[in-house]
Amino acid sequence: MYKFVMPEVIFGSGSIYQAGECCKRLGARHVLVVTDRGVMDAGWTDPVLESCRKAGLAATLFHEVSVNPTDVEAAACAETYKESGCDAIIAVGGGSAIDSGKAAAALVANGGHIRDYEGVDRILSPLPPLVMVPTTAGSGSEVSQFSVIVDSVRQKKMTIVSKSLVPDIAVIDPDVLATKSARLTATTGLDVITHAIESFVSIAATPMTDVQAKNALALAARFLRPSVASKYNKEAKEKMAMASLQAGLAFSNAILGAAHAMSHTIGGRFPFLHGDINAVLLPHVMEFNLIACPEKFREVALLMGENVTRLSDREAGEKAIQSVKKLAVDIGAPLTLAEMGFHASAIPEISEIALTDACMITNPRDISAAEVAALLTRALA
Amino acid sequence: MNRPEMIHLLTGVQSSKLNYYTELKKTIGELQKKNRQLEIMNTIMHSFNVNMSIQDMLKQTQETLQSVYKIDRLSLAMWEDGALKMADVYPEKASFLRKGTVLSSENSLYARVFSSGQDLLHSVQKGDDFFESEAFQALGFQSVWLFPLSSRGMITGVLGLATREIFSFSEEDRSFFDHLSGQFAVCIENARLYHEVLLSESRWASTFRAVPDSILVTDLDGTILTRNDSAAQSWPFEQTICTFLKPDRFHEAVQTELPCFEEVSIQNKVYECAYYPMLEDGELKGMIVYLKNITEKQFMQAQIIHSGQLAAIGEMAAGVAHELNNPLTAILGNAQLLLRLATNETKPLLEDIEECGKRCRTIIRSLLAFSRQEPSSFHPCSLNDAIYEALRLTGRQMEKQRIQLLIELNEQLPLVNGNLQQLSQIAVNLFINAKDACSEMQGEKRVWVKTEADQHFVYLHVQDNGCGIDADKLDEIFHPFFTTKSAHNGTGLGLSVSIGIAESHGGTLTVKSQPQKGSTFTLALPVLERTE
């Protein structure tokens, strides 16, 4: 028995101009537009505001969102929503803006502190209309039931899981990817690959999620390099946007694995890019998980374009790991935690906390704190 | 939680995205209930009026509540005379503790709620040992919810809701019932105050109405606004007091805003009349006209004075008679002795002395008889005798005034049952009045005295050709202290006492008069009925 949840999806070039109209259809009158500085500077907030104006909606802008959004920012965002008398939220940006929008929505409908909703199904009242406009082709948050927010007191990323966090409409416009830097394209692209692989090997994977995960992986493996290579490769951008969407649908329903569990924990303590951490951890986690489902890793290798004929599942799996590593090298992603500024001293604590992350539950191989620590040590340099 | 369960949770087979439809339904449901409650509150409060009995209020409440809450019984305990007592219960058949039962024991749930001021939801249990437990069990209640009734900051009683099924109510229900009991307390208090006011008002009204004197409340023009029973009896149709009272005094009281008094006679009755200004916040709002009938009182006064006078005369007459008797006996004896020796020359003189002496003796005897104060006992007697007696006392005065006395007494006059002495008092009064009426007149003066009888009455007519009486005074002449004579001539008692005597004999005393032509007074007395 399984279930597949997803929002309405509008996909295509120029769809960003639909954002306002989407909100209006959901009954909105005054929209809170949640975004960050970078997105504003790139000029993607304007078409959203413009679409709101055209739809006859009032709009209030909230842009104090950081790379790893915190509970404080979410509370401020909810406060702005209430003060301005908003009745819907559009989030424009990467995972941080979208997760902030979701957290704020949870707060305005349920009150309290976002910490109260950490875990699974803790949200009790329905959220206001949520329209998500992703600008990074990575997080998949625009279709997922997750919101990841940093607890500024505990310095930990809280994973909030609820069907109510699945947005109402995801507006995916590949054109917005054109302004992304190569660095950002690379790191978010690696996030897509991590999403695809982890959800594919997840013990909660279903035929429905497998379709999405496999498609996402094949697309990303093929188009990430050209997408990083050129801002103007429209086809590559569109494929990456689709890969991100499908990977999002896959992991939202099949959940993730150890790489994300650890990545969430590190992200709570260090200001690293989520995609970078994933990229470094993924090959090590794949090695660790290989024995759990070698046939699936064989498929991963295949999807990544490796030739696995006459190779055993295990050998094929190892090829998949190599392929991931090669991709990281090719697009200039960091290869070790050390080079990002991670200290070995944090390993014991990170290991303990990572074990409690929701994503750890669906990891195909059972894992202990010591094993997490060993993986982190290996990823360090 | 184990891993598969956790995965189940994460993939969400058992959870769905929350939607506004369910939220809305919940909210609407709550709103509908709240609306219904408000409606109930409204219906209950509107249907209450101050005139309603508490029993009816409870009935109305229970019936209206029925659509939302199934309450089997409403009960009320009220603080009265220093104790919490069982008051009304609806339905009445669902009562166990009798009305008036004191709920003062520590063990009473009602008393607990009353003293704590907090509501109390009690589930009736088998082993309960409360004062009311037996009642609850006997009536088959499962739950009892008690609310304090507070009005103007004071807890005045306890409202009890009892059900035969177990209550399962929420906080909103509590606040609803809290509100309801608040309203209830106010209504009960209002009804109580209203009845108190009504009672004191009706007490005042019945006092006002029962006063035997006439009280009229008027506006400043004398238009009658209210009258009490006595006034309504005397003047049922008058619109204004000006039709039966001279308005001078009334206006004086209105102008000075001070009470004014006068004595007035209306329709043959004498009233002491007072005009009291009615002031409200220093402003004159109306007048109270207070009429006290003093007719009887005046007659009584007159009789007292008159009999006082008679007593004084009697006493004096007795003394005088005693003093005069000896010299008179000597005069008469000596005159009779001398008569034997009289010459032709002296005989007429001596006879005159004897005659005068005898008359003196008669007068003295009559005076004694007239003024004798005896308890008035009635005997069969002749009106003629009374007249003779009176003539003996007054005949001489008439002669002196050169009044021609024409006497025409019916010798066959039937007897009457009466007091001779009192009847002769009437005759004396009438003769003196006739004499006085003639005294100022020129020409021939006449007084006719006549007795006659018909089947039922004997009559005495005393007619003079004197000054007569003005028509507007005819009514007043019988009033005590009314007199047309000068101060030393009259007391104003004669006729009033006479009419009193006439009435006590079952008779009447009437007058006909024409100014300057004369008057006729007629005394009519019922004929003595023969009992043979």
Does residue B313 surpass a pLDDT of 50?
A: yes
CB-CB neighbours of B133 under 10 Å: 17
Tell whether B393 is covered by a domain: yes
State ipTM. Answer: 0.75
User: Any idea which residue has 């897509």 for tokens?
Assistant: A192
| Parallel/antiparallel/unpaired status of strands B283-293 and A88-93 | unpaired
Q: Residues B249, B185: one domain?
A: no
Taking the alpha carbons of A335, A339, A344, A350 in that order, is the dihedral positive or negative? negative
Q: Residues B409, B522: one domain?
A: yes
The pLDDT of residue B369: 65
Q: Residues B323, B430: one domain?
A: no
Tell whether B284 is covered by a domain: yes
Tell whether B16 is covered by a domain: no
Question: Per the CB < 8 Å rule, is A164 touching B17?
Answer: yes
Which residue type does B257 have? E
Q: Residues B155, B237: one domain?
A: no
Closest by Cβ to A362, choosing from B10, B16, B19: B10
Task: Kindly list the averaged pLDDT for each block of 10 residues, start to end, along chain A of length 381.
Answer: 92 93 91 94 94 94 91 95 94 93 95 92 92 87 91 87 93 90 91 95 95 96 94 92 94 93 89 90 96 95 93 94 94 92 91 89 94 94 82
B23 touches chain A (CB under 8 A): yes
Q: What is the dihedral of CA B122, B126, B130, B132, to 10 degrees?
A: 80
Which residues of chain A are within 8 Å of residue B12 when distances are taken between CB atoms? 3, 5, 121, 145, 163
**pLDDT tens column, B382-422:** 889 889 888 888 888 888 888 888 888 888 889 898 888 88
Domain containing residue B192: CATH number: 3.30.450.40
Instruction: Note whether A265 and A155 are within 8 A (CB).
Output: no
Q: What angle do CA A168, A170, A174 make, to 5 degrees?
A: 175
Q: Residues B384, B523: one domain?
A: yes
Q: What angle do CA B272, B276, B282 make, to 5 degrees?
A: 170
Which residues of chain A are within 8 Å of residue B23 when distances are taken between CB atoms? 125-126
Tell whether B398 is covered by a domain: yes
Instruction: Note whether B446 and B403 are within 8 A (CB).
Output: yes
DSSP result, B171-195: HHHHHHHHHHHHHHHHHHHHHHHHH
Tell whether B526 is covered by a domain: yes
Domain containing residue B356: CATH number: 1.10.287
Which of B2, B3, B8, B11 to probe the A interface (max A CBs under 10 A)? B11
Which of A6, A144, A161, A365 to probe the B interface (max B CBs under 10 A)? A161
Distance (Å, whole) CA B463 – CA B511: 10
Those residues with Cβ within 8 angstroms of residue B185's Cβ, 6 or more apart along the chain or in another chain: B149, B150, B151, B156, B157, B159
Distance (Å, whole) CA B180 – CA B174: 10
The pLDDT of residue B180: 86
The pLDDT of residue A23: 92
The pLDDT of residue A356: 87
Q: What angle do CA A327, A328, A329 make, to 5 degrees?
A: 90
pLDDT, average across residues B203-224: 87
A241 touches chain B (CB under 8 A): no
Distance (Å, whole) CA B84 – CA B113: 11
Instruction: Note whether A140 and A244 are within 8 A (CB).
Output: yes
Which residues of chain A are within 8 Å of residue B17 when distances are taken between CB atoms? 5, 126, 163-164, 166
Q: Residues B346, B472: one domain?
A: no
B1 touches chain A (CB under 8 A): no
The pLDDT of residue A325: 94
State which of B270, B293, B316 marks the end of a domain. B293
The residue ranking higher by pLDDT, A55 or B497, is A55
Q: Residues B271, B353: one domain?
A: no
Distance in Å, alpha carbon of A31 to nearest chain B alpha carbon? 18
Which chain B residue is nearest to residue A2, measuring alpha carbons?
A: B13
Question: Per the CB < 8 Å rule, is B10 touching A164?
Answer: no
The secondary element (H helix, E strand) that includes residue A326 is: helix A313-331
Beta strand residue intervals within B433-506, DSSP E: 445-453, 457-464
Residue B169: pLDDT band (50, 70, 90) is confident
DSSP structural state of residue A293: -
State which of B139, B172, B196 marks the end of a domain. B196
Residue among B464, B457, B424 at smallest CA distance from B529: B457
Q: Residues B39, B161: one domain?
A: yes
Domain containing residue B487: CATH number: 3.30.565.10
B15 touches chain A (CB under 8 A): yes
State which of B293, B316, B335 marks the end of a domain. B293
Q: Which domains, from first to last, does chain A contain?
A: 8-176 (3.40.50.1970), 182-380 (1.20.1090.10)
Pair of tokens at residue A200: 């594919």
Burial code of B481-520, b = ≥16 C-beta within 10 A, e = fewer?
ebbbeeeeebbbbbbbbbbbbbeebebebebebeeeebbb
Which residues of chain B are within 8 Å of residue A120 when distances are taken between CB atoms? 6, 9-10
- Residue A50, judged by CB atoms within 10 A of its CB (0-12, 13-18, 19+), counts as middle
Query: A180-194, A239-253, B194-208, B300-314: which range is least confident on average?
Result: B300-314
Tell whether B428 is covered by a domain: yes
What are the helix and strand counts (H, E) for chain A? 14, 9
Highest mean pLDDT among A160-169, B79-88, B163-172, B265-274: A160-169
Closest by Cβ to B10, choosing from A166, A206, A255: A255
The pLDDT of residue B532: 47
Q: Residues B445, B514: one domain?
A: yes
Q: Residues B46, B168: one domain?
A: yes
Pair of tokens at residue B527: 């004929």
Backbone φ and ψ of A280, nearest 5°: -70, -45
Domain containing residue B221: CATH number: 3.30.450.20
Backbone φ and ψ of A66, nearest 5°: -100, 180
Pair of tokens at residue B273: 């009349």
Tell whether B181 is covered by a domain: yes
Which residues of chain A are within 8 Å of residue B10 when distances are taken between CB atoms? 120, 161, 204, 255, 358, 361-362
- Domain of residue B217, residue span: 212-293
User: Any idea which residue has 């039937």 for tokens?
Assistant: B414
A311 touches chain B (CB under 8 A): no
Q: Residues B172, B259: one domain?
A: no
Q: Residues B401, B523: one domain?
A: yes
Tell whether B310 is covered by a domain: yes
Max Cα-Cα span within chain A:
64
The secondary element (H helix, E strand) that includes residue A262 is: helix A258-269
Question: Per the CB < 8 Å rule, is B17 touching A5?
Answer: yes
Instruction: Note whether B60 and B92 are within 8 A (CB).
Output: no
Residue B24: pLDDT band (50, 70, 90) is confident
Total of domains in chain B? 4
